[in-house]
Amino acid sequence: MVDVRSGIGEAVPPAEVEDVELYHPHSWWTRYVFSQDAKVIAIQYATTAIAIGMVALVLSWLMRLQLGFPDTFTFIDAERYYQFITMHGMIMVIYLLTALFLGGFGNYLIPLMVGARDMVFPYANMLSYWIYLLAVLVLVASFFAPGGPTGAGWTLYPPQAILSNTPGGKDWGIILMLSSLIIFIIGFTMGGLNYVVTVLQGRARGMTLMRMPLTVWGIVTATVMALLAFPALFVACVMMLFDRLLGTSFFMPAIAEMGEQLQYGGGSPILFQHLFWFFGHPEVYIVALPAFGIVSDLISTHARKNIFGYRMMVWAIVVIGGLSMVVWAHHMYVSGMNPYFGFFFATTTLIIAVPTAIKVYNWVLTLWRGNIHLTLPMLFALAFIVTFVNGGLTGLFLGNVVVDVPLSDTMFVVAHFHMVMGVAPILVIFGAIYHWYPKITGRMLNEALGQLHFWITFLGSYAIFFPMHYVGLVGVPRRYHDLGEAAFVPESVHSLNAFISVAALIVGAAQIVFLFNLVWSLRHGREAGGNPWRATTLEWQTPETPPPHGNWGKELPVVYRWAYDYSVPGAPEDFIPQNQPAPGRVSHEAAS
């Protein structure tokens, strides 16, 4: 079914996609603060996410100080340690990664990449950010509440999450955490509706689904998953709030505390685990799919070669999105379940490796004989592939019930998920920021500072997480404030822990270089021009850089080709923008 139609000589009406009425800001406040422009909202989302992410980074420092040098920092007692763990995990997964990929990159890139003037519901989009900010503030408030933030672990498992001996369990900590999550989900739903409907209805003329850059595919598939998965977290949070505040027993079994029978009875903690992981596992891919998409575009652009197997890449994204909704119980092998269920979930888990492996092969084959430019975005993209394969392979171990049971709750699991959904997506975020910063600000980020940042981050995170696998294989449990004198923990583990902690401090400090670079380059960076990477996708073809409100000037762009026309034989340049008509027709227009 080869369908070659060049369409030469065919008259094309310029813009039959209905143009939209934009909201025009009247004051500084509505232009920069209560803005309805997706690009401004994106920057607001990203700034807030990075700011709260820095808090989580400091928390990880504190945890590593305790693990590496126990008994040295007396202010980190067991209670504080659990609070740090909990807040670090929750902030990184939800308030940083999810918000940055979907709220940040989604808002900035979707309208530009599909050739729209803005999101379809700009007002709801603006509300989405302010509700997200409120969620972050409620979360931060728990640091200052009496009793401090919750220390229940990022999974918030009942019954311990709301018992009085868990930090924040009897005070405000858990209440603020649950409320913050509920607020976040309400805000996200408003944004998520925008991302999906904009891709469905806002695409420019000629922008068929199969001409969309993979970044958009990744973000929109992740959004659909998030819209279906976040309600589970919402339900779990509402029910736990009822248990904590009103004394119901949804998740609380009959339980005695300090020799005293509590009024709870009959509830099921396993029910919470199902609800939590029904959200929690798709969450991994909600973070991973946008990263997959962005990496595909970075590699193609910086290797000057079309993406290998575009169709396969699209199908793989959709298949991963579908499969990841039915694997959640592999987080619950040790909670106990019907062996047939265990078999079902182990199988679906391992099957996900197939489309994921296809993507990795396709990235490698895209690089194969490409004209690889080792720019900063490319370096980060390459680092992502390596890291993702590493983290993914240990996932194959953990996906098997028999291997998972002994390894569960050891540092091996910590190392695994930090590699695959911590370091790998963060590397993509850095790569993406180095790639799109010139479009956002009109200036390049400083190359030397970027190289410094890249090498310390890349090598450093391996120094942190590679040894951690061995620590886990020895049997060192996670979530322990102090290992103490255990016969199975050799002396070498303690020195390894100290080494990991030093590496963590250095990698964390390297992020300050990055932040400095972001601010410094705003004024002092090299002028970038409209299309510094000579890329094909629409966001680089805007008439002005940075693009103003409305993006496209007078006329919406028309799309004539797919997003990956790099190094086309016979073409005058090694890239052809998506809005350039076929040769032989109005070629002078494209040259100007």
Task: Please tell me whether residue 278 binds another protein under the rule CB under 8 A.
Answer: yes
Q: Are 150 and 174 in contact (CB under 8 A)?
A: yes
Task: Please tell me whether residue 146 binds another protein under the rule CB under 8 A.
Answer: no
Rounded to a whole number of angstroms, the minimum distance from the CB of residue 94 to another protein is 17
Can you tell me which of 101, 108, 132, 250 binds another protein, judged by CB under 8 A? Answer: 250
Task: Please tell me whether residue 552 binds another protein under the rule CB under 8 A.
Answer: no
Can you tell me which of 564, 575, 577, 579 binds another protein, judged by CB under 8 A? Answer: 564
Task: Please tell me whether residue 5 binds another protein under the rule CB under 8 A.
Answer: yes
What is each CA distance from 259 to 262, 269, 448, 498, 584, in whole angstroms? Answer: 9, 21, 62, 39, 86
Rounded to a whole number of angstroms, the minimum distance from the CB of residue 181 to another protein is 14
Stretch that binds another protein, among 66-74, 165-173, 315-323, 545-553 (CB under 8 A): 315-323
Q: Which helix (H) or strand (E) holds 509?
A: helix 491-524
Stretch that binds another protein, among 176-184, 267-275, 419-427, 458-466 (CB under 8 A): 267-275
Chain positions 528 to 547 lying near another protein, rule: CB under 8 A, are none
Can you tell me which of 207, 316, 398, 503 binds another protein, judged by CB under 8 A? Answer: 207
Task: Please tell me whether residue 588 binds another protein under the rule CB under 8 A.
Answer: no
Rounded to a whole number of angstroms, the minimum distance from the CB of residue 268 to another protein is 7
Task: Please tell me whether residue 590 binds another protein under the rule CB under 8 A.
Answer: no
Task: Please tell me whether residue 263 binds another protein under the rule CB under 8 A.
Answer: yes
Write the CB contacts of 138 (distance below 8 Å, at least 6 apart in sequence): 176, 179, 180, 183
Can you tell me which of 141, 319, 353, 582 binds another protein, judged by CB under 8 A? Answer: 582
Chain positions 279 to 308 lying near another protein, rule: CB under 8 A, are 306
d(C-alpha 377, C-alpha 302), whole Å: 8
Of the candidates 80, 93, 91, 101, the residue with the CA atom closest to the CA atom of residue 54: 91
Task: Please tell me whether residue 325 binds another protein under the rule CB under 8 A.
Answer: yes
Task: Please tell me whether residue 165 binds another protein under the rule CB under 8 A.
Answer: no
Q: Are 500 and 463 in contact (CB under 8 A)?
A: yes
Rounded to a whole number of angstroms, the minimum distance from the CB of residue 254 to another protein is 10
Write the CB contacts of 137 (distance below 8 Å, at least 6 apart in sequence): none
Task: Please tell me whether residue 557 binds another protein under the rule CB under 8 A.
Answer: no
Task: Please tell me whether residue 126 binds another protein under the rule CB under 8 A.
Answer: no
DSSP string, 349-386: HHHHHHHHHHHHHHHHHHHTT------HHHHHHHHHHH
Chain positions 68 to 97 lying near another protein, rule: CB under 8 A, are none
Q: Which is nearer to another protein, 347 or 451 (CB)?
A: 347
Apex 323 CA angle, 320 and 325, nearest 5: 115
Can you tell me which of 146, 266, 336, 569 binds another protein, judged by CB under 8 A? Answer: 266
DSSP string, 286-317: HHHHHHHHHHHHHHHHHTTSPPTTHHHHHHHH
Q: What is the DSSP letter of 427?
A: H
Q: Which is nearer to another protein, 264 or 533 (CB)?
A: 264
Kindly provide the b/e burial profile for residues 243-273, where b requires at least 16 CB atoms within 10 angstroms of the residue's own CB: bbeeeebbbbeebeeeeeebebeebebeebb
Apex 240 CA angle, 237 and 246, nearest 5: 125
Stretch that binds another protein, among 169-177, 361-369, 435-443, 554-562 (CB under 8 A): 554-562
Task: Please tell me whether residue 312 binds another protein under the rule CB under 8 A.
Answer: no
